[in-house]
Structure 1
Amino acid sequence: AKTDIIYIFGFIAASSAAMLIFTLPSVFYIKLVKKEPMKFVQKIGAMFFLFFLKFVQKIGIVVMTGSMALIILDWVHNTHGEGH
């Protein structure tokens, strides 16, 4: 039987995945590597991910919303511990 912790972990993962994959690594890299010039290839890539790939974040929000909806539906319909 599934435990409730599976639903909680799934909900947290679905809600934070887009930010953890795309936004935070770029921000951390730019903040941590201040000594490199802005023309450095890795810094340009980080800026590209941060500013120009906003559509990827929008896709991530759509995926997050869909994942959270599926988790909630699974949670509601499998209240008796039946599993899949």
Structure 2
Amino acid sequence: MDLESVDPRFQCKSFCCVIQDCLARYDYNQSMCSREIEQLVECCSSLARPEGSLHCMGFMNLHHQARQHAEGCQARLESSALD
């Protein structure tokens, strides 16, 4: 039995391992691993308490901040287009 299925702190761990392998394979070029990163985001988003997973802590906060920044940029672009 693996820790992911037993201990909620280790949920989404396998996605982190896949990301590490991908980054090593592509000389740490993050853009080459965007699909793998998105899979981790989906796993963390599916958890009732993503902050309880060691592999989602901080990452989800960073992802949330990036999403807010992108939404703010989009809103500024839309408002400047109306001017």
TM-score for the superposition, normalised by structure 2: 0.38
TM-score for the superposition, normalised by structure 1: 0.37
Rg (Cα) greater in structure: 1
1 or 2 for the larger relative contact order (CA 8 Å, sep ≥6)?
Answer: 1
